[in-house]
Amino acid sequence: MKLADQWRSIHASLPDGWSDARLELTPSRPENLSRAAALLGPAGPGRLGGSLRLTVARAGGAIGPDNAAKLLGKLDAEGVRGTLSLLDAAERVQAAPAAPAIRGSAAAAWRTALAGLPADWSDLYCELELSSTDHLDRAALLVAPVNPARVSGRSAFRYRVAHSFGYGASPQMTERCLERLDDEEIPARLTILHVLSDTHNVATQGPVWRVGGKAV
């Protein structure tokens, strides 16, 4: 079966409410591994032994279901054959219910969120929502080290966190920035929007999510 058709079969089998599907592609011929990685470049694949791993996001990730089919179709067109397997399918991870989190400690919510993640997590895409637009400018300054991006039309920022290497703030720097918000009593709700585990960079700084047509 062609790789694009294997993805369509996997996609159809995913549970309702899935947010991210982590896949493993093993070429039938090992010499095709580098070419497969190049063709899948927009998906930010990670290399593990003789296989490639990539994540398809239902919304707001590096690639969506339709783009995954197109990229895999390019491999099919070049005669790259192999096996595409589903490693796991995840749902949105949220640090805490909305009302309690907006009133509580942002740093404590961060520690709670980390405790609930798998041990091999490697990359996070997070959102920090403020209780009022009055806090936007000050909060942006306090959390500047995590390189926050403003969410249009909302009192919120989004940023990346990298566990040990790659693009994003470290977990320790993230916690320190959130402690600064707590110190100035700026209420904020923390949500982990996307989680990737065990990624291996292939000549990149790490995986790329696409939100609103832009790489983040």
Q: Buried b vs exposed e over 170-209: b needs ≥16 C-beta within 10 Å?
A: ebeebbbbbbbbbeeebbbbbbbbbbbbbbebbeeebbbb
CB atoms within 10 A of CB 164: 7
Do residues 70 and 100 share a domain? no
What are 195's strand-pairing partners? 124
The number of folded domains in the chain is 2
Do residues 101 and 141 share a domain? yes
Show which of 91, 109, 127 is a domain's final residue: 91
Burial class (CB in 10 A: 0-12, 13-18, 19+), 110: buried
Do residues 193 and 101 share a domain? yes
Do residues 107 and 63 share a domain? no
* Residue-level pLDDT at 201: 58
Do residues 68 and 106 share a domain? no
* Arithmetic mean of pLDDT over the chain: 85
Do residues 74 and 101 share a domain? no
CATH number at residue 38: 3.30.70
68, amino acid identity = A
pLDDT (average), residues 29-51: 91
Do residues 134 and 183 share a domain? yes
Do residues 109 and 71 share a domain? no
Q: pLDDT tens digits for 139-156?
A: 999 999 999 999 888 899
Do residues 72 and 136 share a domain? no
Q: Does residue 120 lie within any of the structural domains?
A: yes
Do residues 64 and 121 share a domain? no
For the record, the structure tokens of 148 come out as 């926050």
Among the ranges 15-29, 59-73, 83-97, which has the highest mean pLDDT value?
15-29
Q: Model-level pTM?
A: 0.50
For the record, the structure tokens of 211 come out as 């939100």
Q: Does residue 155 lie within any of the structural domains?
A: yes
* Residue-level pLDDT at 194: 86
Among the ranges 128-132, 166-170, 193-197, which has the highest mean pLDDT value?
128-132
Domain ranges, residue 17? 3-91
- Alpha-carbon separation of residue 3 from 7, 24, 72, 81, 174 (angstroms): 6, 11, 6, 7, 39
Q: Does residue 215 lie within any of the structural domains?
A: no
Do residues 66 and 145 share a domain? no
Do residues 86 and 121 share a domain? no
For the record, the structure tokens of 13 come out as 């089998």
Q: pLDDT tens digits for 72-129?
A: 999 999 999 999 999 988 766 554 444 444 456 899 999 999 998 888 888 899 999 9
Q: Does residue 49 lie within any of the structural domains?
A: yes
